């Protein structure tokens, strides 16, 4: 009550002042009702003060501090949304408040609170849209996720079940492919930790196993099997001498000198034959 009385006294003093702003020791403690009255006075002076001066900075900073309650009020709507920390949300909302102060004009005859709240809320929504996705996706798909969430809720109420892709597409006026793209992209909004316990059977010590412990891994032998299946018909297309050279070099692991002695040719000839045959096989595998 004492703080409100001080604030009210400031308003009375300001009313009789001539072009001077009252000194407010702690603008953050000014009651909302008094803050509205004082804000009009400070905005009036802000328009005539020269930007960059100490008086201008005092008026602007005081307006910000007096109206932080608007930021806290707007931020409260997003308290349970996503994983955003409340302190971060308030900081982002304050940016919206500053933008509103810099763009407000008393001649519009609009209450500053009505003017500022959309700026604050818009800045907070932009923060959630741009920073809370676990995987970056195009903004078009981020906005589609919001539209699809609303459509799902509306359709589920009437259908008493989850809507199908076809029903969502018809409701939103989109193609089924666009809806599927949006559904896939929405999976990137949140991410689970690999250390998160799973519902799988517990280990020997009866402790739940982490997701990372039960995730499968690519089998390196699978690539070898695929290569062998691709290579087999290509080997059948080689002539007898080419197949024999490949067998001696990679099957029996003979050196080029040993292969040359076996075939009665020079090592240089073996090298050229081997290089030509391997090039033929690589080309076939790539094709």
Q: Flag residues of the chain having pLDDT under 70.
A: 1-20, 80-84, 129-139, 142, 187-208, 210-216
Last residue of a domain, one of 81, 96, 131: 131
Task: With respect to residue 20, please indicate whether it lies within any of the assigned structural domains.
Answer: yes
| Amino acid 135: pLDDT | 55
| Amino acid 18: pLDDT | 32
Task: With respect to residue 246, please indicate whether it lies within any of the assigned structural domains.
Answer: yes
Last residue of a domain, one of 131, 153, 171: 131
Residues 236 and 247 in one domain: yes
Q: What is the CATH classification number for the domain harbouring 14? A: 1.20.120.1810
Task: With respect to residue 195, please indicate whether it lies within any of the assigned structural domains.
Answer: no
Whether the Cβ atoms of residue 163 and residue 172 lie closer than 8 Å to each other: no
Q: What is the CATH classification number for the domain harbouring 179? A: 1.10.10.10
| Amino acid 138: pLDDT | 66
Residues 177 and 231 in one domain: no
Task: With respect to residue 138, please indicate whether it lies within any of the assigned structural domains.
Answer: yes
Residue 105 structure tokens: 């004009």
Within 8 A by CB and 6+ apart from 153, the residues are none
Residues 126 and 48 in one domain: yes
Residues 102 and 61 in one domain: yes
Task: With respect to residue 216, please indicate whether it lies within any of the assigned structural domains.
Answer: no
Integer Cα distance of 22 and 282 in angstroms: 84
Residues 94 and 23 in one domain: yes
Task: With respect to residue 176, please indicate whether it lies within any of the assigned structural domains.
Answer: yes
| Amino acid 81: pLDDT | 62
Task: With respect to residue 268, please indicate whether it lies within any of the assigned structural domains.
Answer: yes
| Amino acid 2: pLDDT | 39
Residues 182 and 147 in one domain: yes
Residues 16 and 84 in one domain: yes
Residue 75 structure tokens: 């931020």
Measured distance between the N- and C-terminal CA atoms of the chain, rounded to whole angstroms: 84
pTM: 0.43
Summarize pLDDT for 209-267 with one digit per residue, the tens: 766 666 667 777 777 788 888 888 888 888 888 888 888 888 888 898 898 888 888 98
Residues 162 and 241 in one domain: no
Whether the Cβ atoms of residue 70 and residue 97 lie closer than 8 Å to each other: yes
Task: With respect to residue 162, please indicate whether it lies within any of the assigned structural domains.
Answer: yes
Q: What is the CA radius of gyration of the chain?
A: 36
Residues 127 and 149 in one domain: no
Integer Cα distance of 17 and 14 in angstroms: 5
| Amino acid 9: pLDDT | 43
| Amino acid 107: pLDDT | 78
Last residue of a domain, one of 131, 154, 171: 131
Number of domains the chain contains: 3
Residues 121 and 67 in one domain: yes
Q: Which domain holds residue 168?
A: 134-189
Residues 91 and 112 in one domain: yes
Residues 115 and 153 in one domain: no
């Amino acid at each position: 009550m004492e703080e409100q009385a001080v604030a009210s006294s400031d308003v009375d003093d300001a009313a009789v002042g001539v072009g001077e702003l009252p000194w407010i020791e702690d603008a953050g403690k000014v009651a909302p009702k008094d803050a509205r009255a004082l804000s009009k006075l400070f905005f009036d002076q802000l328009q005539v003060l020269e930007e960059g001066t100490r008086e201008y900075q005092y008026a602007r900073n005081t307006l910000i501090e007096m109206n932080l309650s608007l930021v806290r009020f707007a931020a409260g709507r997003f308290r349970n949304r996503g994983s955003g920390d409340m302190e971060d949300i308030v900081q982002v909302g304050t940016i919206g408040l500053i933008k509103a102060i810099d763009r407000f004009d008393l001649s519009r005859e609009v209450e500053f609170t009505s003017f500022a709240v959309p700026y604050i809320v818009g800045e907070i929504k932009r923060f959630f849209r741009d920073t809370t996705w676990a995987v970056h996706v195009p903004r078009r798909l981020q906005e589609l996720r919001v539209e699809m969430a609303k459509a799902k809720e509306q359709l589920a109420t009437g259908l008493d079940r989850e809507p199908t892709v076809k029903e969502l597409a018809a409701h939103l006026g989109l193609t089924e492919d666009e809806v599927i793209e949006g559904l896939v992209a929405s999976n990137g909004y949140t991410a689970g930790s690999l250390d998160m316990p799973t519902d799988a059977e517990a280990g020997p010590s009866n402790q739940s196993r982490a997701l990372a412990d039960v995730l499968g891994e690519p089998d390196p032998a699978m690539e070898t099997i695929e290569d062998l299946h691709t290579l087999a018909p290509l080997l059948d297309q080689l002539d007898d001498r080419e197949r024999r050279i490949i067998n001696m070099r990679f099957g029996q692991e003979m050196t080029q000198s040993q292969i040359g002695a076996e075939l009665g040719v020079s090592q240089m000839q073996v090298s050229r034959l081997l290089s030509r045959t391997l090039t033929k096989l690589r080309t076939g595998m790539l094709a």
